[in-house]
Amino acid sequence: MKKNRPQKSFSERVYVVVQKIPRGKTRTYKEVATQAGSPHAYRAVGNILSKNYNPRIPCHRVVRTDGALGGYNRGLERKAEMLREESL
């Protein structure tokens, strides 16, 4: 008999997806939302990541679908710098 495990919240699923983005790669907010199980919740992904201060969750690797950086709670200059450093 299987034990019923509590289902992860959408926020938890987003963090799991983002943690798996490899160094030097990016994903879009929409890709993260889709992989977390809610393809239309890309704005919610941005809202969730704006509150993240855990360095193990590389939210700077999530960008807009049009290629723009999007937001970052430590500033866009820092996000751009981190992405440049990782792509070397």
Tens digits of per-residue pLDDT, 21-64? Answer: 999 999 999 999 999 999 999 999 999 999 999 999 999 999 99
Q: Is 59 a catalytic residue?
A: yes
Statement: residue 1 has pLDDT above 60: no
Classify residue 71: in a domain, yes or no: yes
Range of the domain at 31: 10-87
Share of the chain above pLDDT 90, in %: 90
pLDDT band at 88 (very low <50, low <70, confident <90, very high): low
| CATH assignment of the domain containing 34 | 1.10.10.10
- Whole-angstrom Cα distance, residue 25 to residue 86? 8
Q: What SS3 class is residue 31?
A: helix
How many domains does the chain fold into? 1
Tell me if 66 is assigned to some domain. yes
What are the φ and ψ backbone dihedral angles of 57, each rounded to 5 degrees?
A: -110, 100
Set 41, 45, 59, 63: catalytic member: 59
2 domain-assigned: no
22, part of any domain: yes
Alpha carbon distance 6, 66 (integer Å): 36
Residue 5: other Cβ atoms inside 10 A? 6
Between 9 and 4, the more confident residue is 9
Residue 5 belongs to a domain: no
Q: What is the per-residue pLDDT for 33?
A: 98
